[in-house]
Amino acid sequence: MVYSLRVIAFFAALLAGVSAHPLEKRGMVTVPIAKTTVPSGTTRLLGHEDRVRAAEFVAGRYGTGLTATSTSDAASVSATNALDTYTMQVAVGTSGQTFNLLIDTGSSNTWVGAATKYEPSSSSKSTGDSVTVSYGSGEFSGKEYTDTVDLGNGLVITKQSIGAATSSQGFEGVDGIIGIGPSDLTEDTVSRTQIVPTVTDNLFSQGTIAQEVIGIYFAPTTENGDVNGELTFGGVDTSKTTSAINYVPITQTSPANAYWGIDQTISYGNTQLLASAGIVDTGTTLVLLATDAFDAYMAAIPGSAVDENSGLLEIPAAAVSSLQTLNFNIGGTNYAFTATDQLLDQSLNTFYGGSADAYYSVVADLGSPSGQGLDFINGYLFLERFYSVFDTTNNQVGFATTANS
């Protein structure tokens, strides 16, 4: 059997990260989480920002390199709602330096240092390589290290490859990213390196988890300090689900298949809006639809129009009571996104650049027509209603209903 140099390099990197004494596999551990308060006075033009991110996904560039020169065991750790994404606390190095990192299924590099500078400790080892990653509305550049990474509750990774930012933009209020997308997205991000094993890759290769599976539970809340989710490595937390988990294979359609891409049909009431491929992404806030599908959704809501300031779809008060269910059919299973689900919590209106007493939809324009190979993004406001599973072992994505559905 002949292996490509890329595959050989990837497995060599995995083996290099395996400790001589692998950590004992652990059972499921559930850890509560709390919301992070955004910086005072911050305004996010959400409709516009999500479209910038989406454009990079459609082009196949999001989370990729620029020019870098030189019944399984499971454990759940905490994730925090920062209003426009989710974050978790990660400790790095023997000094236990802690970073607040965005949880991103749309990228795969893990890096720190945007807000809090990385301080090498006795477990740190410089690889001598540089790292550069573009995220559409932001990017970072820095130096690559290997170090001990502690995700909490005994999920400790030795020799994890991490980036230490020397410059970054677009990451105000957080320290970096924990990338849990497909590992191929790390290609060409680190000099002299083909593919960088993700934190999930290393948890599996070091024997800490039995399956390369991530279960995500996000619970909607607007109260700072409320428990609102968990991230489970190695399996799923069925105590958070109210149905069986239904799995679908990663789509074969490009560029969606480079990410956690699925095929789905979306209908508003009895009107089908689209049937195509797109992605599931924790780093996107809204539910984004291809422009023609979004236009059909907007046309079905009398008097609705896009607010130029926020980029969000404003719904007349008179039309709120007649909103119909937005149905997501994934692998033959229907996931109902109710009228209430479609409305942004009014307490967040001004944070997202809107008017305090207006009604806004969380469904927005992707910014490109259908037929591009990535025609929707199910962002975290969708994932707050449904439990999601990202299964690298079986190359599939799963969903289940929760008490929030």
How many CB atoms neighbour CB 29 within 10 A? 19
For residues 184 and 187, what is the distance between their CA atoms, to the nearest angstrom?
A: 6
- Residue 311's Cβ-side half-sphere holds a number of Cα atoms within 13 Å equal to 18
3-class DSSP assignment, residue 51: helix
Vertex 262, ends 174 and 65: CA angle to 5°?
45
Catalytic residue among 50, 73, 84, 104: 104
DSSP string of 134-148? E-SS-EEEEEEEEEE
Tokens 């072992």 belong to 393
For residues 187 and 172, what is the distance between their CA atoms, to the nearest angstrom?
A: 26
Active site residue 281: yes
Active site residue 104: yes
For residues 329 and 248, what is the distance between their CA atoms, to the nearest angstrom?
A: 11
For residues 269 and 300, what is the distance between their CA atoms, to the nearest angstrom?
A: 9
Tokens 């927005």 belong to 364
8 A C-beta contact, residue 187 and residue 109: no
Vertex 227, ends 223 and 233: CA angle to 5°?
140
Catalytic residue among 73, 84, 263, 281: 281
What would the two tokens of residue 21 be? Answer: 């004494």
CA 15 to chain centre: 26
Sign of CA dihedral 247, 253, 257, 263: negative
For residues 135 and 142, what is the distance between their CA atoms, to the nearest angstrom?
A: 15
8 A C-beta contact, residue 236 and residue 215: yes
For residues 209 and 113, what is the distance between their CA atoms, to the nearest angstrom?
A: 27
8 A C-beta contact, residue 137 and residue 170: yes
Catalytic residue ranges: 104, 281
